[in-house]
């Protein structure tokens, strides 16, 4: 059986190599590629996607997985046992999808991303509309390959959250929404905190230097990564030793670029911490998008927006921007970066309103897949839902329906993972603080080593060996639940707003 296992690893390694090559092309498209290259890049990515899919669903891989599945592994959680178990599930799912669909989807989304960027720049949804119509049609078609299903959204959600069902997410969100709406009402009854000092001019080069210092201290390994600018910040991994991040800077917002860098560094440090023993296998990635988001949101919010963090870093931030912050106290600054106010842009949203942005998108995605709304009606529907969820209406498409890159990339099914990641981050955080009682003092002194080491051992090293619910239960003793997150929000914001 050892010979069969080594052959399987070799074939899967080749699949991972092809996926890494495609990731390089995707990264280049969003960072340095000239706009005129979109159509050609789409053809290249389409070809690569077809070759990768054909190889991943080859009869030989199926034969090897079937043969190895019959083996009784002494340790069902060993790398080899999990490789076979997870590999069979991936193979079975991928085999239901024709390679022709995979190639078309890659080509359509590559061109669609370029169209989205241009539409976003001009705040004109009509230019992106035909591309999104193709993408929605392809995602509906994708779901059809997995009939019978409980819900049309299930096959897409499973791509990002293996094993999770739409009904489970909706049940979690139903209770969470009521709690967050009540919290926002309580906050709105109190005097608003001041954040005007953040809306002054902050030079990009100073923002960049400060952000790089922060994520270096967090533990981001620059020998195995780099940071560039992109229209929509993202993280990408090309494999062992090369995990890259992007960010964006707003010169009239002193915190946006910093928190973006923290967020993406959280993703990247996860990928940098996966055990090398599972390199060039499908397990050499995060357990799920929500587990990934738990890492990025933890470093961005639970660390980066904490009073402890700024006890250490605020004097340095003041020194970098004395013209803006010389007369702003630490407590005023802390309250300002945690200001709660309904806003148009998801990635700029505060912790109390962020999940409502996600719930809005989930409702829209389900409606698109079910056909209860059409793409052409999306701007008006989006604005209606923004008013319903957050009490505000975008003045243009850039601040509304065109703000996220996800739909142009075909990532319908991804958005719920952002809110789920918030919930998981607090489940982990409560466990971390129980295991490391001195953590607040460590953060006050700018020491993040023990926190990162805990995450490495409990979460990062496993990669995608375990499904998300399984991993969360192994680490925290409970499946995904909103209670720790609700406790955190109530405590934090009652202290800031005094209710």
> Could you say which DSSP state residue 228 is in?
E
- Residue indicated by tokens 């309103």: 353
Using CB atoms within 10 Å of the CB of residue 391, give its burial: 0 to 12 exposed, 13 to 18 middle, 19+ buried.
exposed
- The answer to the question of residue 153 being in a domain is no
Phi, psi of 414 (to 5 degrees): -85, -35
174 lies in the same domain as 118: no
- The answer to the question of residue 145 being in a domain is no
d(CA 453, CA 381): 45
pLDDT of 143 reads 98
Report the sign of the C-alpha dihedral through residues 349, 351, 356, 362, in that order: positive
d(CA 239, CA 279): 7
- The answer to the question of residue 68 being in a domain is yes
Helix (H, G, I), strand (E, B) or coil at 420: helix
What is the percent of the chain with per-residue pLDDT over 90, rounded to a whole number? 97
- Residue indicated by tokens 């509309």: 129
484 lies in the same domain as 423: yes
- Residue indicated by tokens 């960027």: 117
pLDDT digits (tens, 9 = 90+) for 282-338: 999 999 999 999 999 999 999 999 999 999 999 999 999 999 999 999 999 999 999
192 lies in the same domain as 326: yes
251 lies in the same domain as 390: yes
Bridge partners (DSSP) listed for residue 243: 237
- The answer to the question of residue 134 being in a domain is no
d(CA 203, CA 243): 27
| Count of the separate structural domains present in the chain | 2
102 lies in the same domain as 186: no
- C-alpha neighbours within 13 Å on the C-beta side of residue 432: 28
- The answer to the question of residue 428 being in a domain is yes
263 lies in the same domain as 345: yes
Residue 360 to residues 132, 166, 263, 367, 384: CA-CA distances in angstroms? 18, 15, 22, 11, 10
d(CA 357, CA 429): 23
112 lies in the same domain as 177: no
d(CA 48, CA 52): 6
Examine the fold and report which residue of 122, 146, 174 is the final residue of a domain before the chain moves on: 122
350 lies in the same domain as 419: yes
d(CA 391, CA 175): 20
Whether the CB-CB separation of 64 and 4 falls below 8 Å is answered with yes
Kindly name the residue from 264, 300, 363, 365 that is annotated as catalytic.
264
pLDDT of 232 reads 86
257 lies in the same domain as 388: yes
d(CA 441, CA 445): 6
- The answer to the question of residue 35 being in a domain is yes
d(CA 111, CA 40): 9
pLDDT of 132 reads 98
d(CA 54, CA 470): 30
d(CA 371, CA 20): 34
d(CA 447, CA 274): 22
What lies within 8 Å, CB to CB, of 57 at 6+ separation is 91, 94, 95, 99
Examine the fold and report which residue of 103, 122, 141 is the final residue of a domain before the chain moves on: 122
91 lies in the same domain as 183: no
- Residue indicated by tokens 């390694």: 13
Task: Say which CATH number the domain at 335 has.
Answer: 1.10.1370.30
Q: Is 264 a catalytic residue?
A: yes
Whether the CB-CB separation of 288 and 468 falls below 8 Å is answered with yes
Whether the CB-CB separation of 108 and 135 falls below 8 Å is answered with yes
Query: What b/e sequence results for 184-193 when a residue is b if at least 16 CB atoms lie within 10 Å of its CB, and e otherwise?
Result: bebbeeeeeb
Bridge partners (DSSP) listed for residue 404: none
100 lies in the same domain as 182: no
Number of H helices, E strands in the chain: 21, 3
- The answer to the question of residue 150 being in a domain is no
Examine the fold and report which residue of 122, 154, 181 is the final residue of a domain before the chain moves on: 122
DSSP string, 421-447: HHHHHHHHHHHHHHH-TTHHHHHHTT-
Contacts of 195-198 with CB under 8 Å at 24 or more apart are 195/335, 195/336, 195/337, 195/339, 197/254, 197/324, 197/325, 197/328, 197/332, 197/333, 197/336, 198/253, 198/254, 198/255, 198/336, 198/337
Q: What is the pTM of this model?
A: 0.94
- The answer to the question of residue 259 being in a domain is yes
110 lies in the same domain as 228: no
- Which residue from 355, 375, 356 is spatially nearest to 365, judged by alpha carbons? 375
Containing structural domain, residue 116: 2-122
d(CA 46, CA 50): 6
Per-residue pLDDT of the chain (499 residues; tens, 9 = 90+): 899 999 999 999 999 999 999 999 999 999 999 989 999 999 999 999 999 999 999 999 999 999 999 988 889 999 999 999 999 999 999 999 999 999 999 999 999 999 999 999 999 999 999 999 999 999 999 999 999 999 999 999 999 999 999 999 999 998 899 999 999 999 999 999 999 999 999 999 999 999 999 999 999 999 999 999 998 899 999 999 999 999 999 999 999 999 999 999 999 999 999 999 999 999 999 999 999 999 999 999 999 999 999 999 999 999 999 999 999 999 999 999 999 999 999 988 999 999 999 999 999 999 999 999 999 999 999 999 999 999 999 999 999 999 999 999 999 999 999 999 999 999 999 999 999 999 999 999 999 999 999 999 999 999 999 999 999 999 999 999 999 999 999 999 999 999 9
pLDDT of 1 reads 84
């Amino acid at each position: 059986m050892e010979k069969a296992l080594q052959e399987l690893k070799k074939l899967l390694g080749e699949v991972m190599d092809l996926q890494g090559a495609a990731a390089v092309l995707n990264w280049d498209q969003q960072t340095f590629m000239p706009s005129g290259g979109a159509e050609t890049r789409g053809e290249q990515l389409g070809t690569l996607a077809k070759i990768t899919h054909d190889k991943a669903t080859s009869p030989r891989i199926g034969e090897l997985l079937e043969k190895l599945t019959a083996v009784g592994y002494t340790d069902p959680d060993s790398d080899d046992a999990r490789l076979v178990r997870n590999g069979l599930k991936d193979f079975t799912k991928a085999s239901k999808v024709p390679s022709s669909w995979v190639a078309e989807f890659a080509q359509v989304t590559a061109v669609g991303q370029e169209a989205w960027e241009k539409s976003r720049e001009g705040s004109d949804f009509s230019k992106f509309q035909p591309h999104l119509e193709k993408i929605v049609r392809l995602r509906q078609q994708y779901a059809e390959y997995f009939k019978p299903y409980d819900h049309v959204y299930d096959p897409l959600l499973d791509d990002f959250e293996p094993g999770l069902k739409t009904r489970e997410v909706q049940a979690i969100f139903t209770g969470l929404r009521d709690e967050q709406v009540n919290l926002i009402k309580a906050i709105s009854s109190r005097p608003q905190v001041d954040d005007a000092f953040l809306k002054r001019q902050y030079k990009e080069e100073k923002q960049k230097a400060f952000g790089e210092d922060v994520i270096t201290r967090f533990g981001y390994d620059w020998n195995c990564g780099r940071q560039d600018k992109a229209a929509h910040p993202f993280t990408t991994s090309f494999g062992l030793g090369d995990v890259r991040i992007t960010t964006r800077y707003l010169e009239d917002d002193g915190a946006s670029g910093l928190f973006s860098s923290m967020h993406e560094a959280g993703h990247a440090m996860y990928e940098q911490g996966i055990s090398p023993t599972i390199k060039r296998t499908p397990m050499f990635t995060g357990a799920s998008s929500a587990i990934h988001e738990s890492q990025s949101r933890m470093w961005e919010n639970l660390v980066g927006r904490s009073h402890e963090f700024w006890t250490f870093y605020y004097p340095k931030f003041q020194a970098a921007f004395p013209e803006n912050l010389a007369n702003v106290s630490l407590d005023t600054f802390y309250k300002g970066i945690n200001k709660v106010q309904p806003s148009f842009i998801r990635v700029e949203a505060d912790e109390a309103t962020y999940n409502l942005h996600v719930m809005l998108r989930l409702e829209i995605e389900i409606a698109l897949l079910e056909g209860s709304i059409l793409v052409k009606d999306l701007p008006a529907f989006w604005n209606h839902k923004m008013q319903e969820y957050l009490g505000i209406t975008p003045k243009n498409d850039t601040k509304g329906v065109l703000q996220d890159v996800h739909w142009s990339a075909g990532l319908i099914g991804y958005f719920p993972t952002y809110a789920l990641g918030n919930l998981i981050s607090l489940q982990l955080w409560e466990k971390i603080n129980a295991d490391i009682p001195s953590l607040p003092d460590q953060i006050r002194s700018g020491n993040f080593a023990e926190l990162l080491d805990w995450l490495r051992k409990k979460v990062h090293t496993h990669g995608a060996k375990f499904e998300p619910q399984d991993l969360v239960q192994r680490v925290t003793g409970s499946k995904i639940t909103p209670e720790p997150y609700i406790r955190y929000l109530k405590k934090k914001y009652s202290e800031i707003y005094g209710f």
